[in-house]
Structure 1
Amino acid sequence: MHDLPPLHALPAFEAAARLGSFQAAAAVLHLTPSAISHRIRQLEAHLGQDLFERRHRAIVLTAAGRRYLAVVRDALLRLDEASAVLRAPRRERLRISVAPALGSKWLVSRIARYQESHPEVEFSLGTATGLGPLLNGEADIGLRYGEEEWPGLLAWKLFEERVFPVCSPALAADLKHPDDLDGKRLLRHPLLSWQRWFAAAGLNRPEPVAGPWYDDALLMLEGAVVGHGIALMAGSLATPYVADGRLVRPFAEDCADRSFYVVAPPAIQERPAATAFIRWLVRGAHEITG
């Protein structure tokens, strides 16, 4: 260890130099003027040099004092900054894995709103449709579309979905009745059942075995926009496209389907910041859906 100066004397020296008075420094540091004078004498004795010229009712830095002040101020500033970081509330990092369409159309805006009142929470978002990131420890929380059973995970239902076909306005011109879909190009997704919607629309049709296959609902929506075909889509994802006219609902019929869930490993219960965010998401989703 180097021969350090008396560290308690450094704030006294800096304050006296900044304020030009032992008395003013004493007031700022809640000490007596004699205590300030004593500490600076200790510092000068350690350094073997005067730091101030004592004049009548005034003190003036010596040349050595001016050089030393620059170093002391820098050291005190660094200590203050480092201490502030350690005193600051610990930031909680939440890794969220979300299906791409739900992430872009529903989750991102809510995270932004949540962080306004919870700046201590730091979010990391990734997209996926499978459960791998949650089961292998790459994500803390997932948002997924599916049935009620989530083996190995806890689940909180956000909202139930109703699905219906959507397509570009150009394709909708030829669709007057659900059976007009016969022979049309139907876009397919692994979690969305055309056969279920056919039954709700009064048609006895099997699940299509041909037609473009999309693993990502957002890509399928964009495919429908450019006229690639007719997409069966969850209402919460399709509604913004219908509202701005990029897509059209050619038929009024819809049907119940799977639901969106928040899913997470059981260990999430040991993280209060994570469970608070989950409760906030679920509460907000329920308020919207009634």
Structure 2
Amino acid sequence: MARLNSFSQASEELAITQSAVSHQIKQLETYLGERLFWRSGRRVTLTDEGRQYFDAVGSALLQIERASEQLLGHEESRIRLSVFSSFAVRWLVPRLPELQQLHPQIDLALEMTSENPVLSDRVADCFITIHKRSSAYSYEPLYVERLFPVCSQDYWQRICRELGREDADAQSREMTPDEVALFPLLSTHSIFDKPAGDWEAWYKSVDRSIPQSARIQHFSHMLLALEAARFHQGIALTNDYMLSTRKDSADFVRLPCPAVMTGDEFYFAWKTSRRRERGIQIIRRWLVDEAIRGGLRANRDVDGEAV
């Protein structure tokens, strides 16, 4: 109930009637002497006491469930992974068929988020996050983010024509910040949480300010800015994982310009008390292997203790 917030969904998952679910909840509330849920029709939400109780006992209940499944010989393991939407769409989802082929017993359910996820069993079993704020969790590094300018193949040809770079060495000669600013700059607000924050950081990394003459087009999300670049609308700042898998990556040209580090590091995170759960460790090792193979992370042993 605490995870699904629905009598009907809880009854389906437990294979019992809704009245039986309601009866069990009332018995637990009577035993504890606290109201655990607020009821509104078919929907239920946790009270403050209920949320505190679930956070305390949730991991133990999940461990009992996993141990019981192993003793019963049930191989299938359902794992909920909370992940940033851009990372999921551009990097993770295209790789899922390989995970299913290697580990058919893993039933991976993705919970996409546009912000850094709240680390809680109520949200997911494991996470891809850029923060290490909870001491109750373990963290495995996946990627240190950097941004670099890209545009479409067709737009690159236009840039070369307008800058007189139509010779064979055009790609090898670095573009100056002033040359970049001659073309529309496609900006993602969510990276630095302010308008043009990504381009401001890029120009600062080369000891410049954004030229006042620069034309900036604003987008809330990197997926939108990259799509605008794909349709020849200007130059966008993107990162490695956005271009590391999809077949349309060949549609883009990385401009001969420096990259800027955002200061964000992506981690795979899981509750330390659940470190022995086989499904979580399978996902952990597979993600790290894929990050290494795709060039996001340097190769190193992943069998030791995570940070």
Normalised TM-score (structure 1): 0.57
Q: For residue 191 of structure 2, what is the aligned residue in structure 1?
A: 191
For the structure 1 residues 272 and 246, does the alpha-carbon distance in structure 2 shift closer, same or farther, using more than 3 Å as the test? same
Residues 148-187 of structure 1: pairs in structure 2 closer than 5 A: 149-151=132-134, 153-172=137-156, 173-174=158-159, 176-182=175-181, 184-187=183-186
The aligned amino acid for 1:162 is R
The structural deviation recorded for 1:129 is 2.5
2:268 is the counterpart of 1:262: yes
CA offset at residue 263 of structure 1?
Answer: 2.5
- Write the distance in 2 (CA, Å) between the matches of 1:249 and 1:242: 15
Larger C-alpha radius of gyration, 1 or 2? 1
Q: Which amino acid aligns with 2:132?
A: E
Gaps of 5+ in 1: 1-85
**Residue 244 (structure 1) shift:** 5.0
Distance 2:225 2:271 in 1: 30
Q: Whole-Å Cα distance in 2 between the matches of residues 142 and 259 of structure 1?
A: 13
Report the CA distance between 1:150 and its aligned residue: 3.6
- Does the CA contact (< 8 Å) of 1:187 and 1:214 recur in 2? no
Pick which of 240-249 and 201-210 moved more.
201-210
- Aligned-pair Cα RMSD in Å: 3.4
Deviation at 1:233, TM superposition (A): 0.4
Q: Which residue of 2 aligns with 1:213?
A: 219
Judged with a 3 Å threshold, the aligned counterparts in structure 2 of structure 1 residues 265 and 229 are, in CA distance, closer, same or farther, namely farther
Partner Cα separation in structure 2 for residue 223 and residue 162 of structure 1: 20
Query: Distance between the aligned counterparts of 1:177 and 1:209, measured in 2?
Result: 16
- Counterpart selection for 1:271 from 268, 277, 280: 277
C-alpha separation in 2, matches of 1:287 and 1:249:
20
Following superposition, the deviation at residue 252 of structure 1 comes to: 3.1
Matched residue, 1:36: none
What is the CA distance between 1:277 and its match in structure 2? 1.8
Q: Residues of 2 paired with 1:205 and 1:155: CA distance? A: 36
Q: Does 1:115 align with 2:70?
A: no
**Counterpart of 1:194 in 2: which secondary structure?**
helix
Greater per-residue helix proportion? 1
Q: Which structure's relative contact order is higher, taking Cα pairs within 8 Å and 6+ residues apart?
A: 2
* Aligned sequence identity (%): 25
Kindly indicate whether residue 126 of structure 2 is the aligned counterpart of residue 141 of structure 1.
yes
Q: Quickly say closer, same or farther: Cα 1:137–1:270, change in 2 above 3 A.
A: farther
5+ residue gaps in structure 2? 1-70, 164-174, 193-197, 299-307
Q: Deviations over 1:143-196 (max 9, x none)?
A: 24x3x5344643221122332011223443336532123364322222263233
The alpha carbon displacement at 1:285 in A equals 2.0
In structure 1, C-alpha distance between the alignment counterparts of 2:255 and 2:276, rounded to whole Å: 48
